[in-house]
Amino acid sequence: MGYISHQFSKYRLPVGVFLCLLLIASCSRAPSPNTLNANILPHQSALPTLRIAGPFSYADNAISLKGTIGLQIELAQLYAEEHNFRISFISAKGEEDLIKKLQQGKADIGILEFPSYAELTKSPDILSSHTQVIYKRGSLRPLSFEDLAEKRVTAHDSPRFRKQAQFIQAHYPQVTFEFSPKTQLQLLKEINQGKLAFGLIDSATFIHLRSRFHRTKVAFDAFYPESINWILAPHLNEKTINQTDDFFSSIKANGTFSHIKDKYFGHTQKAKPLSSVTFFSRVEQRLPQYQDLIEQIAEKHQIDWRLLAAISYQESHWNPRAKSPTGVRGMMMLTLPTAKELGVKNRLDPAESLDGGAKYLNYILGRLDDVAEPDKTWLALAAYNVGFGHLQDARKITEFHGDDPNRWSDIQRYLPLLEKKDWYSYTTHGKARGREPVNYVRHIRHFKELLEWQFPFTEEELALLAKRKDAEQLIKAEKLDDQIPKNQQQQSDNS
């Protein structure tokens, strides 16, 4: 953890918000009404409605969705904002139901968590994905469909998986396929539990869920890569289709797409299953001793307790007596100078350590007011690890390369340059272990998401998030208003 400035006392600690709740909740939540609540969007009922159909029945708020669906929802929100639509989310029971809604004019855009073979117009590519055979770790790994002769392979019941199974069986007739109405998440859960031996699972879905179901593993790739796209309704005119094409071209060219994609997949692609095994073991054995304390301190500093728990796990594996050769100690691994600045008298006391770490995190967040969430949190975590000065050096290098110093997806590419003399010799704060904060942030994001699976967000937390998001939009509007010259404001008001 980086050393805190002696100017700490001059800063007023900001009242934090529920940090990083933009990536929240869990697919294990109970089913909800057929139409997804869209109140995370501005309330502009006078705007025309863009109807988005998708597998929303297992969640009650758009921001509770993660992975491929969460990514597509955020892209749809951005598209709606740019083209002055309000969004209505419509639940589809499966791919066939979704296609039917599009063909009957009940929806405008369809989104799925896997590629679709529907013969309808589609958006430009969003993700590349391919079908994989998944099995349980510890069992005999099949290397090809020849090894699955006389075996049963289960797949989600969709036209795509049925067509793929038909093609496979034409070449390997001894393989038996079973189609289930269960989601891919539910199938992975049963493979993880040993209830199913093998499953056909989409790779984009598996990348997102493999850490949660750490006993599952890829046996082999079953099909070539295919594209995940928005599926466009037949009634959409050519102008709208062209707008969609232009939208994707624009966000891919200006880096927005990569930035949004990083929010949903940046911390999952390099996650190691064994780290999840250790994590869940600690969740079961150690977290119960400290969860109430973590929740109390998180509430005091108005941050998400899952984030504080993820940080303290990354720092010490929830070991209050942890120490390192460099002198950092305790649950939050505070240095002695930092502990003194924060008023922590005993670094080995869990309550003092957690309180000091939360206070320090809020202090850093207060120095990043120009950065939007969730990047604000990721940058703060990087500074917590490597020091605020080194983070600022990396932001300057990022800007020098023409990238966005407020985007974590950009900054993480340049932090490792702080290890190279050709770069750190020109920085204000000198050499730093630039790769460490990149891994540090990725691990905490990973552990935080696992905690969100384990401890889904409550209705009260989701409601608070909606209020926080409305407040953020109001603050943005006020800042924009402050940037308009007074005479221009008056002209606008008079018009």
Cite the active site residues: 315
Residue 343 region, left (φ>0) first, then alpha (ψ -120 to 50), else beta? Answer: left
Residues 153, 59, 196, CA angle at the centre, nearest 5°? 15
At 289, is the secondary structure helix, strand, or coil?
A: helix
User: What's the rounded Cα separation, in Å, for the pair 196 and 153?
Assistant: 8
- Using alpha carbons, select from 203, 188, 216, 213 the residue that is nearest to residue 67: 203
User: What's the rounded Cα separation, in Å, for the pair 415 and 395?
Assistant: 8
Give Cβ neighbours of residue 229 (< 8 Å, ≥ 6 apart).
115, 116, 122, 123, 124, 125, 126
Burial of 273 (0-12, 13-18, 19+ CB in 10 A): middle
Residue entry with tokens 């929740």:
295
Distances from the Cα of 406 to the Cα of 377, 391, 392, angstroms:
11, 11, 10
Residues 93, 79 contacting (CB under 8 angstroms): no
Helix boundaries (H) for 367-454: 375-386, 388-400, 408-414, 421-424, 435-454
Q: Which residues pair with 154 in a beta bridge?
A: 178, 199
